[in-house]
Amino acid sequence: MLLRVLAVGDVVGEGGQDILSRRLHEMKEDLDVHFTVVNGENASGVGVTPRQARGMLDAGADVITLGNHTWNRIQIGDFLDRNDCILRPANYAGRVPGRGMGIYPVKGLRVAVLNLMGRVDLNPNLDSPFKTAGYLLRNGGYDLAVVDFHAEATSEKGAMAWYLDGKVQAVWGTHTHVPTADCQILPQGTGFVTDLGMTGPIRSVLGIKPECSLNLFLGGLPRRYEEAEGNCKINACLFVLDSEKKRCVEARRVDLEE
């Protein structure tokens, strides 16, 4: 059986939430998608609230993954404990709410989703994502597995994909909000892309007003980042997984712009 998995890049602000709510169901239907994973850690700009998480699930996300802004909206804590369709990075050190891996029934299969966060230039106060992945995946109990690796360094993302080649069926990077053009299938059958990109305003710097970034880089006083306005996009990739051969047979970009 071929399972078609849609991975959607970081949802940024109200614009990202709006285009997701209006276009994701249509996108899934056009691509004959069976399972959808959406990174939602920037729905509030930084962080996500329970209301926003419910909105993304209503829009068509089967699972929401998070990242380094998980705790910027601390009210998400209880929601992470109550709802198994939202994941935070599994390698957070210490005792924090929620879970970093879930197993979901899809078309008679058990699909594992693992959310990890990188340490290079992002957050060194984490457990090793490599060791965490090895430990969690060793427990089994699933037919297919996919990984959202929320990381800054392209080298760390690539290394994770090669580390997991043959152990999972797909690895995609999130966090940098810039879509990469390197969709590929590694030798042992793992589909990989360095970064999905983002879901949010097109004319922006990573989803925010350009003048906010210019102010920072030109030495201005710190100011609150504001979400950019105007037409939005959905950056996403489609992974087609063969459940019998336990490998990815297709990995490609399926971006949408308005």
What single-letter DSSP state applies at residue 168?
A: B
Of 164, 148, 152, nearest to 124 (Cα)? 152
Structure tokens at 148: 């959202």
- Write out the two tokens for 145: 């597995």
Active site residue 69: yes
Catalytic residue among 25, 34, 69, 177: 69
Whole-number Å distance between alpha carbons of 167 and 247: 9
Q: Closest Cα to residue 36, out of 185, 202, 257, 254?
A: 254
d(CA 243, CA 231): 38
One-letter amino acid identity for 212?
Answer: C
Q: What does the DSSP assignment read for 187-249?
A: TTS-EEES---EEEESSSBTTB-HHHHHHHHTTPPP----B--S-EEE-EEEEEEETTTTEEE
Identify any residues that bridge with 48 across adjacent strands, giving them in sequence order.
none
Query: Which active-site residues does the annotation give?
Result: 69
